[in-house]
Chains A and B, each alone.
Chain A
Amino acid sequence: MTGDPTSPQDIRLGDAARGFVGKIRRLDALQTGSGSSLSAQELEQRLVEMGFVEGARVEILHEGAIRRDPIAVRVDSATIALRRSEAMAVIVE
């Protein structure tokens, strides 16, 4: 893991395809600028409450039929369904 927060390998979970396996680097709801309606802080809090914390292993298991949305993500020992717009706040590698 590199300490550089703007590493070019940064991927947003909301952009990742089905089958993606990675590790959460950090949460960044401020720059998502996308469809999610929650305030950046609230979105980050909710993500943490669902287990999206730094270092957790994530895997995209399933995606919906329309525009491949929402997605079902395995986060360590639980499976969480969320919309891609909200998953944009999760930076993975």
Chain B
Amino acid sequence: MTTAPLRLALVGAPNTGKTTLFNSLTGSRQKVANYPGVTVERKSGSFVTPDGHSVTVLDLPGTYSLRGRSPDEEITRDIVLGRFPGEAVPDLVLCVADATNLRLTLRLVLELKRVGRPMMLVLNMIDIAKRRGVTIDLDRLSQELGLPIVTSVAVRKGGIDELLRRTDEFLSRADETATGNQWTAPTIGDLKAAQREADRIIAASVTLPAKPDTLTARIDAVVLHPIGGLAILALILFVMFQAVFSWAQPAMEFLSDSFSVLGQLIRDVLPEGLLQSFLQNGVISGVGSVIVFLPQIIIIFLFILLLEDFGYMARAAFLMDRIMGGAGLHGRAFIPLLSSFACAIPGIMATRVIDNRRDRLTTILIAPLMTCSARIPVYTLIISAFVPAKTLWGWVNLQGLVMFGLYAAGITSALTVSAIAKFFLWRDHAPAPFMLELPDYKLPRLRSIAIGVFTRARMFLYRAGTTILSMMVLIWFLASFPTAPAGAEGPAINYSFAAMIGHALEPLLAPIGFNWQIAVALIPGMAAREVAVAALGTVYSIEGGKEAADQIGQVLAQKWGLATALSLLVWYIFAPQCASTLAVIRRETGSAKWMVFTFVYMLALAYVASLLTFNLARALGIS
């Protein structure tokens, strides 16, 4: 017996409950990272068997075959074959199958057998199969396949006991050695032959009930109705948005207040000076301004994971595929883009549900154009200062109409950019096909969902603690140094690098109607969009407090022309004013190239749009 942990790999078709099984095995002892050089998520974890052996588990991307049609599937293939650099070949392959739907997995099992690694078949969701009257002759199936079989109910406590026991048995048997690898990429003839063999084995060992499951069919009759289905989708989204904006509000206010109190505490305890300013303005308010989005991120992922576990996500993709397809987007891009209305960061993180790399990249590129909640404070400030609260045609609020226009402009531009990207970047590439399984509905399991939400939240906080913190420190540095000379008038920021950059940028920004104060405010606004509001306050030397926002509005209304205000609004639709989003893009695409690309294209878009707005407004006599 060796002391090194046993390396276990979970392989299986999508929707077989592989991830739920992974969560049951490892609990919160999970690590999510990326495989080097690719955008594929590497999920690993560990557990200890009843006999005290430690085991590491790798949850490999779901696949229907080892052909490797996508980067995810290539990783599954290469790891199983022991070809992936830096990953050891697994000691034991656990092939996970949905006991209620063995057809597609059994073909994969037959293919995996040819690889020759020690393998075990896990019949997951055996409880659902039994309830539906599916009887499986385990001995016969095991004999036909020549593999040990374990049944499991990954969602229930104790449902994986047998799997743990069999893992111990495997460890105590020394004779289980790998046979030679006979796997070659299957031809279509091989695939068909394997499917026929799988169908034969199923016919010999599985008895299906006379009456198939009708609950899924009944739900689908409503949920996938061409008109009714879209209405239900809209309703689900409405509830999701309500939740994101209203349920998260108390928690966000609490976090925001806590950070203010913490900042105030630092201010009271520490002597005035650099350290105080660094901790209060750089670290606490900087990181705090990002962490306040944690409640929204948790709620969005809670919804996404619930819908995914329930089986609805594939249906949403089905309903939206044709509608999104017009703009060159995949049906699966729908939810990530929607999440981006709250914040582009979880939206970009959620693009992991899109298998195809090009579709995923397009979605990531346009996600920041969706109007995120951090733009709302800026929009509100400028709209309330410059747009009169008039009522049009008896019922339309003019301010609300402008707000709606800004949202619509964001969506329209995102779809346009996607269509352009499809035409220019991916012209030589064929669009990915849309072919996905609509799994039977299942009740979501709270424990598995909780682990998923926890993992996402931890990733977000980790990033807030590393990349985002360093960005904040940089921005604080620019806004604080050099310090104001003794006896200087006006706010200290006017003497800083930020002001110098602001003055230097002024000639560039003058054509779009921005003065140097705006340029200065845009620099801390890179930390988080809404910080620009506070920064404008600082530049125009308005002291904080609850009424500050109103005061800033009044000052701006005196100092800026309407053309400038409109130009800034348009700037905010497009400008890449968010360091955290850029950092996430870098991380999710695995390269700085796409981060730079996003920054440049959005900046260009913002500049051109603001230039047009400003000059058009002046030409129309608004100034």
Contact string, A47-58, partner B, CB cutoff 8 A, digits 1/0?
111110110000
Size range of the chain A interface in the assembly: 35 or more
- Taking beta carbons and an 8 Å cutoff, which residues of A are in contact with B? 36-38, 41-51, 53-54, 61-70, 72, 76-83, 86
Of all chain B residues, the one with the shortest Cβ separation from A85 is B433
Which of B102, B321, B435 neighbours the largest number of chain A CB atoms within 10 Å of its CB?
A: B435
* B274 at interface, CB cutoff 8 A: no
Partner of A77, one of B103, B220, B225, B431: B103
Q: Is the CB of B65 within 8 A of A49?
A: yes
Chain A residues positioned under 8 Å from B136 (CB to CB): none
Task: Name which of B3-11, B191-199, B336-344, B560-568 contacts chain A.
Answer: B191-199
Q: Which of B413-448 contact A (CB under 8 A)?
A: 430-431, 433-440
Give chain B nearest CB distance to A42 CB in angstroms: 8
- Whether A67 contacts B192 in the complex (CB less than 8 A), given A72-B220, A78-B104, comes out as no
* B495 at interface, CB cutoff 8 A: no
- Whether A49 contacts B191 in the complex (CB less than 8 A), given A62-B220, A66-B323, A80-B438, comes out as yes
Q: Is the CB of B226 within 8 A of A49?
A: no
Q: Is the CB of B433 within 8 A of A77?
A: no
Chain A residues positioned under 8 Å from B102 (CB to CB): 77
Q: How many A-B residue pairs have CB under 8 A?
A: 113
Chain A residues positioned under 8 Å from B208 (CB to CB): 77
For the complex, what is the distance from the CA of A36 to the CA of B435, rounded to whole Å? 11
Known: A46-B69, A65-B322, A81-B318. 17 other contacts (CB 8 A): A41-B188, A43-B433, A49-B64, A49-B104, A50-B64, A61-B220, A61-B224, A64-B319, A65-B226, A65-B227, A65-B229, A72-B318, A80-B435, A80-B437, A83-B321, A83-B435, A86-B433
Give chain A nearest CB distance to B320 CB in angstroms: 9
Q: Is the CB of A46 within 8 A of B435?
A: yes
For the complex, what is the distance from the CA of A18 to the CA of B188, rounded to whole Å? 29
Contact string, B95-107, partner A, CB cutoff 8 A, digits 1/0?
0000011111001
Of all chain A residues, the one with the shortest Cβ separation from B223 is A62
Give chain B nearest CB distance to A62 CB in angstroms: 4
Size range of the chain B interface in the assembly: 35 or more
For the complex, what is the distance from the CA of A60 to the CA of B345, rounded to whole Å? 38
Partner of B195, one of A41, A42, A51, A82: A51
Chain A residues positioned under 8 Å from B319 (CB to CB): 64-65
* B376 at interface, CB cutoff 8 A: no
Chain A residues positioned under 8 Å from B436 (CB to CB): 80-82
- Whether A79 contacts B438 in the complex (CB less than 8 A), given A46-B69, A51-B103, A62-B224, comes out as yes
Q: Is the CB of B435 within 8 A of A64?
A: no
15 A-B residue pairs with Cβ-Cβ distance under 8 Å, sorted by A, are A50-B64, A50-B104, A50-B435, A53-B199, A64-B319, A65-B229, A69-B322, A72-B220, A72-B438, A77-B212, A81-B314, A81-B437, A82-B433, A82-B436, A83-B321
Q: Is the CB of B67 within 8 A of A37?
A: no
Chain B residues positioned under 8 Å from A76 (CB to CB): 103
Q: Is the CB of A79 within 8 A of B103?
A: no
Q: Is the CB of A70 within 8 A of B434?
A: yes
Q: Is the CB of B191 within 8 A of A45?
A: yes
Contact string, B566-603, partner A, CB cutoff 8 A, digits 1/0?
00000000000000000000000000000000000000
- Whether A67 contacts B191 in the complex (CB less than 8 A), given A61-B220, A86-B433, comes out as no
Give chain B nearest CB distance to A13 CB in angstroms: 13
Q: Is the CB of B188 within 8 A of A63?
A: no
For the complex, what is the distance from the CA of A65 to the CA of B227, rounded to whole Å? 7
For the complex, what is the distance from the CA of A63 to the CA of B322, rounded to whole Å? 11
Partner of B101, one of A49, A63, A78: A78
Q: Is the CB of B226 within 8 A of A48?
A: no
* B387 at interface, CB cutoff 8 A: no
Chain B residues positioned under 8 Å from A48 (CB to CB): 188, 191-192, 195
Q: Is the CB of A61 within 8 A of B217?
A: yes
Give chain B nearest CB distance to A39 CB in angstroms: 9
Q: Is the CB of A64 within 8 A of B226?
A: yes
For the complex, what is the distance from the CA of A70 to the CA of B103, rounded to whole Å? 23
- Whether A46 contacts B437 in the complex (CB less than 8 A), given A65-B227, A65-B230, A67-B322, comes out as no
